[in-house]
Every structure is written in C-alpha cells, then in structure tokens.
Amino acid sequence: MKNEARRWNILACGRRWGKTTLDEELLIDPMAQGYPVAYFAPTYKLLSNTWREIKRTLAPVTKDKSETEHRIEIITGGVLDCWSLELDRPGVGRKYKRVVVDEAGMAPKLEEQWYEAIRPTLTDLEGDGFFSGTPKGRNFFWRLHNRGMDEAELDYAAWRFPSASNPFLPPAEIETARKDMPDRAFRQEYLAEFIEDGGGVFRLVLEAVDKDRTANEEPSSERQYYLGVDLARVEDFTVLSVLDDRGRQVYFERFKEISWERQIGAITQTAERYQPRVIVDSTGVGDPIFERLRQAGLLVEGFQISVQSKERLIDGLAMAIEQGRLRLMNVPTQTNELQAYQYEVTRTGHVMMNAPSGMHDDTVIGLALATTGIRRTSRLEIGRLDDLPDERVELTPEEAEQAQAEHEQELLEGDEGWV
C-alpha cells in the first residue's frame, strides 16, 4: 500500500484491521527524517488512546514531551502534534510534512476542518495526508474515498481493507459476527463498505431532517407537546428535545457542565413554555431530579434505562424515523449522532446498540424519550406526518389514570423502563 501511495490517501478499514498500528508507522517515518507531523482524531477520548500507544513506541527516542499539548519531539528533531477534531480549527498556524486523520468517518465537521484548517498546514513542506477509518455512511470520508478510486484523480489513492484481511484475526470470530449482526451493520463494520445512511441502527435519517428548520419554534395552543430529557453524566450533555403530537420536532437544547439546579431550571422553563408531558431518564442520578421535577408540579414520567429497556427505546425511535413518522430539526450534532449509532457485538455474542467509542448519544436518547412519550402518554400510534389528525390529543384524568395502570401492568409483564 505504501508503495502505491499518492499525496492524498484514503483507507476504509474493517474493525480490528490494524489501522492504529499503520497510523503510527506512517507518522514515525517522516519524524525519523526530522520532519513535523500531526495526528487528528474525532474526539479527545479517541486521541488519548492513540497518544498512550505512540508515547510508548517513541519512548526510547523521545527528547521532549508535553502532555498538555499532546506533543512529542524525538532525537532526530522530528515533532508529532496530536489534535482533537472537537476543536474548530485544529492545527492552524503549524506546518507539517504529513497528517493522519484517524476514524475519518466519525468526524462531523471534517470537510470544513480539512479545507480551512488542516490542508493549509501542508503547504510549506508540500506534505501529504492519510485518512483512515471504518465507514460511517456516505459522508465526506466516502466522497474522499470515491476520489481515490477515480483513476482521473492523480493526487488521490484509496483502498478498502475488510477485517478478514488482518491475518491475526480468527476467521471463526468474523463468521460469528456475520451470523449475529444485521447484514447492513456487518457489511459496514467488518467488510468496510460504505452503506447508505451509515449502515447502523437508524436508516433514512437525512430524509427525516427538514434542512431549513434550524431554530426552535414557538408553541401552539392547538398542539400537544412531549419533552424528552436525557440528563448529563460526568462527560455527557443534558439534552432537551420537544416533539408535537404530529411527530414534528420543535425544540432542541443541549448543555454541559452546569449545576443540577440550573438544569432543573432549564427543564422547568421549557416545560412552562410548551406545557408538555415530560419523559425523563430517571436512571441513577436522574432519579432525584425526576422527583424534584414531579414535586415542582410538572406532568413528568420517569424512564429507567436498562439493557432491555434501552433496546426497546432505540428500536421505537428507529422505526419511527424509518417509517416517516418524525420530522426533525436540522441540528448537525443530532443528525451525526443518529447516523453514527451502531450495532456492537459483545464478547458474549450479544448484539447491542450504542454510540461509537468516544462519541455521545445524548441527543439520540433525548429524542427517543420524546418519541416514546407520544405513544405511551397519549396512546396515539402516530402514522406518517401527512396522515395525522390536526386535532389536539388530550387525556382526561380518568384516561391518564388508566394509562398509568397500563404502564404498571406492562412493567409487571417484563416491559422494563417505566416508573
């Protein structure tokens, strides 16, 4: 592969193919010749994993090292900078002989960052670039790969390496994954194929997004609203997502690292604005918040997230999107999380649904809670948006009591999640 490389090189790799090892080798070669190079990862968490590995590899020849800047200088004068693509303009002001972009399919703003920040760093030294990663739908990484496959693009080269091309992976394990995983997910994760719409859990995401709707909408007295709340953990975001009774998303808010009191205040303000039924993740630290919201007089239901209940929660959202039941706001973070959401095979052979390592799923859970609120709270089986009735759906106190009784009965019968 290295003998066939051109200036811009794109590698679509299956899981556990060995791209991290290749990335290290690609970076060390020019460093040994005294050149500066850079490594880019979609998140700080993914960056940290490679940083630990490359520190260990370069330890015998390291001259200087900065943990804060993720920067290593070796005895030849070669320098490595490691950057997270969570920054707006990573690498601006530097010059490099080579850059490596890892997990390129997972970076939501890669196109903008490549042209406006990373590409200019290669001008002074006429450097080259390598993009590697497992495909995640037909995004900028896919478009780069297509250019590499085009014989007319003389500066580009592209390869596809299925997991099975790694001779150290047991073939039986790959065959087990083939049997356990949905076909689209296996083709993406193990065969390194670019499947439309990510090949993961959610299909037709882009078709569900109204590209011209980027701002929150004012509530209407003719609509019933449902507010899904995913509460933040240590490194996560709190997400508020509001749907109306037609399945139309009208409000989105996302914030991080604020006190519980301020989070409760934000939830209460949103509830006062839309008068919604509130469905909140009441798992763990969310339980006392749920109680506080209920004491504040909000019409709130708690959802306990377990392995089983999360699977049903995500399945419900996936079905609603695929069947055209939802119309989503154009929120890039939300769209990216939906497209990146994937199937994962555990060591015990079970198939789970999660955000990729290093990414968040807060917007997914918030949206899923709001979606399930439509069905459970109003008992309305929403159809396609155009087919829904215009009249507002409301419950009398007797109907609400009956709905709660049905929830409790479902819980007794094994329908985990609701409290």
Pairwise CA distance, residues 265 & 73, whole Å: 48
Q: Is residue 315 part of a domain?
A: yes
Pairwise CA distance, residues 254 & 239, whole Å: 5
Q: Quick one: pLDDT at residue 351?
A: 61
Q: Are the CB atoms for 102 and 41 separated by under 8 Å?
A: yes
Name residue, tokens 């790799």: 13
- CATH number of the domain residue 174 falls in: 3.40.50.300
In this structure, the number of other CB atoms found within 10 A of the CB of residue 155 comes to 11
138 and 266 both lie in a single domain: no
Question: What is the pLDDT confidence band of residue 146, given thresholds at 50, 70 and 90?
Answer: confident
245 and 394 both lie in a single domain: yes
11 and 111 both lie in a single domain: yes
φ, ψ (nearest 5 deg) of residue 239: -125, 130
Amino acid sitting at position 387: D
99 and 16 both lie in a single domain: yes
Task: Find the mean pLDDT for residues 142-162.
Answer: 90
Residues 6+ apart with CB under 8 A from 317: 202, 364, 367, 368, 371, 372
Output the six-digit token pair for 20.
Answer: 């991290």
Task: Find the mean pLDDT for residues 168-183.
Answer: 85
Q: Is residue 371 part of a domain?
A: yes
Output the six-digit token pair for 52.
Answer: 């630990």
54 and 183 both lie in a single domain: yes
280 and 262 both lie in a single domain: yes
Task: Find the mean pLDDT for residues 123-136.
Answer: 94
Percentage of residues in the chain having pLDDT higher than 70? 83
- CATH number of the domain residue 235 falls in: 3.30.420.240
Pairwise CA distance, residues 375 & 380, whole Å: 5
Q: Is residue 63 part of a domain?
A: yes
Q: Is residue 419 part of a domain?
A: no
Alpha-carbon separation of residue 28 from 6, 51, 254 (angstroms): 18, 13, 39
222 and 332 both lie in a single domain: yes
Q: Quick one: pLDDT at residue 236?
A: 72
Question: What is the pLDDT confidence band of residue 412, given thresholds at 50, 70 and 90?
Answer: very low
151 and 210 both lie in a single domain: no
Output the six-digit token pair for 379.
Answer: 């008992």
Q: Is residue 368 part of a domain?
A: yes
Output the six-digit token pair for 115.
Answer: 């042209």
Pairwise CA distance, residues 14 & 163, whole Å: 4
Q: Which of 61-70, 120-129, 158-167, 380-389 has the lowest mean pLDDT?
A: 380-389
Q: Are the CB atoms for 293 and 264 separated by under 8 Å?
A: yes
Count Cβ neighbours within 10 Å for each residue of 328-341 and write b for 16 or more, e otherwise. Answer: bbebeebbbbbbbb
395 and 255 both lie in a single domain: yes
270-281 pLDDT, tens digit each: 999 999 999 998
14 and 63 both lie in a single domain: yes
Q: Is residue 418 part of a domain?
A: no
Amino acid sitting at position 340: A
Q: Which of 20, 100, 94, 77 is nearest to 52 (CA)?
A: 20
Q: Quick one: pLDDT at residue 344?
A: 66
Q: Are the CB atoms for 22 and 170 separated by under 8 Å?
A: no
289-348 pLDDT, tens digit each: 888 888 888 888 888 888 788 888 998 898 899 889 999 999 988 887 888 787 665 555
Mean pLDDT of the chain: 83
Alpha-carbon separation of residue 189 from 14, 134, 174, 185 (angstroms): 5, 6, 11, 6
Query: Which is higher by pLDDT, 251 or 108?
Result: 251
Domain count, the chain: 2
Q: Which of 76-85, 97-106, 192-201, 381-390 has the lowest mean pLDDT?
A: 381-390
109 and 231 both lie in a single domain: no
Q: Quick one: pLDDT at residue 383?
A: 35
Of 197, 232, 248, the residue that ends a domain is 197
| Pairing state between β 277-281 and 225-230 | parallel
Task: Find the mean pLDDT for residues 193-221.
Answer: 86
Q: Is residue 417 part of a domain?
A: no
Of 171, 197, 223, the residue that ends a domain is 197
Q: How far is CA 5 from the centre of its chain?
A: 30
Q: Which of 124-128, 258-262, 365-369 has the lowest mean pLDDT?
A: 258-262
Of 163, 197, 231, the residue that ends a domain is 197
Pairwise CA distance, residues 34 & 40, whole Å: 20
Name residue 249's beta-bridge partners: 243
Q: Is residue 137 part of a domain?
A: yes
Q: Which of 98-107, 200-209, 336-345 has the lowest mean pLDDT?
A: 336-345
Pairwise CA distance, residues 197 & 327, whole Å: 16
36 and 130 both lie in a single domain: yes
pTM above 0.75, yes or no: no
Output the six-digit token pair for 5.
Answer: 């490389």
10-20 pLDDT, tens digit each: 999 998 898 88
Question: What is the pLDDT confidence band of residue 416, given thresholds at 50, 70 and 90?
Answer: very low
Residues 6+ apart with CB under 8 A from 364: 314, 317, 334, 337, 338, 341, 355
In terms of residue numbers, what domain contains 377? 205-412
**DSSP-derived secondary structure for 115-160:** IIIIGGGGTTTT-EEEEEE---SSSHHHHHHHHHH-TT-TTEEEEE
